Structure 1
Amino acid sequence: MPAMRALERRARSPISLEHTTKYRRRLGSRDVTDRSNKSFPEGRGPASSLSSRWDGRLDPEQKSWCEANGVPLAYDPMQIGWVIADKEAVCPNAVPSAPLSWKAKPTRLLDFRRWQSDDLPAFRQLLGDPQVWRYMHEDWPGEMTETLARDLIEISALGDHHDVLAFTLDGAPIGQMRLAFGADPSSADTAELSYWLGRAHWGRGLGRDLVRRATQRAFADHDWLYRLVAFVHPDNPASERCLRAAGYHDRGHRDDGWSCFVTYRDS
């Protein structure tokens, strides 16, 4: 345990080459900054300087100069390099390293909600792409006119045979999930999950988020639901990977070549 605590202390602070107290005793009252006018490798003068370890790490020539002139150094694991240990010591012509960035990546806010009339422009743009329809059960309807888009949004909210939700990123729709009830007449506790994602959002990991969250939402909203099935176009391996990542299992193929995937509540 003492050894572990020692390692933790070393990880939290730079590793001094020379104890500052000993260094000050040897130099007496002299200020080490007086040494900054000594010749520097390759004739570089004290045009700029570093006075603390947070000003940046030293290059090999600067490190050698500091060692030769009694400037205490420390190895800083955070900056991955040698730095000035004493804030009163100055290394001439040292160039500050790039500042460390502690900014966290922005969090993507993903959610589901009902389609709204205000979504009409986004709906037309997303489903106006024939490549999105390529992997759907339905055929490409042609131009996504305003009338057609409005009709599809209205249909999504009608009837109790399905549950349709827009998939949103930071409040803006980028895709859709749909639960079709009665998919298997022999199993009243089964629904079919289908989904699509706008092509501008492919290849960003959002497909996996969509399937995983849609599965969780389906079981959360419908407590009677026990099994979900999903069918995948034979030329859409990316969708198969999304389903497997969400816990679905391959159950073979239909006669038309579409793959069948199944998952269960609490599986």
Structure 2
Amino acid sequence: MSDTGEDSTRRRFDGVLDAEELALARSTGAALAYCPLQLGWVPLTTEDDTDAVTPLSWQVGTLNLYKQIDGTPVYPKPQTLTLRVWVEDDLAIYRSLLSDRSLWTYMLESMPEALDDDTLRSLIALSTEGTHHKVRVAVVGGQPVGQVRLEYGADPATAELSYWVGAVSRGKGYGRQMVSRFIDRVAVRKPYITRLTARVHPQNHASRRLLLACGFVPSDRESLGLAPRGRDGGEWDGFVRLKP
């Protein structure tokens, strides 16, 4: 039987004590510890293994939340982005998003002169009831962050995509998620649409990158049939995405 005293050469990872060793150790007052990794009692000496990494079971209760043993942060997964229609309960956040003048910098439409409740209700009603387009709001953590819209063309196989993202939500990848998910839905629910077009202000580099990441490619406006409209006098860049 091995000695379990301070001069022992037996260390905690040499194996658990058998019944006779455990009884002797307790009778002599030797320091013991229960090892959950080895499922048994082991000597607890000051001469510990210097070449062994302490197992996780010995550190339970000492780790910070979202931290690995080596200290590398483990971050929670990003919140899921979902798509739905605008509802009247969104009135306050809708007004807040549309009141940001920077939002209208690269929009086809000009900022409305008034954003009173009646105007906002009319815009929400138009987005949900119009038969010439489909509008969805992107929601993250219960809060709307942007909008994506598909306007149907005279040719049933073609539609024009447009979108916007609120100022506080930009630069977080929500725009790309929103557009990608919306396109996937369109592909399933309206398989007859085989060509999506989009127009981008020449200085809107972020929107250009987003469209390229979502499978759009630059294309000649005339070939796409993108006539001047709104604040686009014909100088905006054209993009197209063909159904695979």
- For normalisation by structure 2, the TM-score amounts to 0.68
Residue of structure 1 equivalent to 2:47: 70
Q: 1:76 to 1:207 in 2, by over 3 A?
A: farther
The alpha carbon displacement at 1:108 in A equals 1.5
Give runs of aligned pairs for residues 54-93 of structure 1, distance below 5 A: 70-73=47-50, 74-76=52-54
The alpha carbon displacement at 1:257 in A equals 2.7
CA contact (8 A) 2:81 2:174 kept: no
Give runs of aligned pairs for residues 139-154 of structure 1, distance below 5 A: 139-154=110-125
Q: 1:19 to 1:264 in 2, by over 3 A?
A: same
Give runs of aligned pairs for residues 133-144 of structure 1, distance below 5 A: 133-144=104-115
Residue of structure 2 equivalent to 1:123: 94
Aligned pair partner of 2:66 in 101, 105, 114: 101
CA contact (8 A) 1:32 1:71 kept: no
Q: Aligned pairs, how many?
A: 205
Q: 1:21 to 1:171 in 2, by over 3 A?
A: closer
Question: How many angstroms apart in 2 are the aligned matches of 1:129 and 1:172?
Answer: 16
Question: How many angstroms apart in 1 are the aligned matches of 2:144 and 2:47?
Answer: 63
The alpha carbon displacement at 1:233 in A equals 1.4
1:258 matched to 2:236? The reply is yes
Question: How many angstroms apart in 1 are the aligned matches of 2:158 and 2:217?
Answer: 15
| Aligned residue identity for 2:139 | T
1:166 matched to 2:137? The reply is yes
* Structure 2 gap segments, 5+ residues each: 1-10, 38-44, 68-73, 227-232
Question: How many angstroms apart in 2 are the aligned matches of 1:229 and 1:33?
Answer: 75
The alpha carbon displacement at 1:138 in A equals 0.5
Residue of structure 1 equivalent to 2:158: 190
| Aligned residue identity for 2:87 | Q
Q: Please state whether the residue corresponding to 1:75 is helix, strand or coil.
A: coil
- For normalisation by structure 1, the TM-score amounts to 0.63
The alpha carbon displacement at 1:120 in A equals 1.3
Could you list the structure 1 runs, at least 4 aligned residues long, displaced by more than 4 angstroms after superposition.
Answer: 28-34, 50-54, 76-79, 252-255
Alpha-carbon RMSD across the aligned residues, in angstroms, is 3.6
Residue of structure 2 equivalent to 1:208: 176
Aligned pair partner of 2:199 in 219, 231, 236: 231
Aligned pair partner of 2:167 in 191, 196, 199: 199
Identity over the aligned pairs, expressed in percent? 32
Larger helix proportion, structure 1 or 2?
Answer: 1
| Aligned residue identity for 2:121 | R
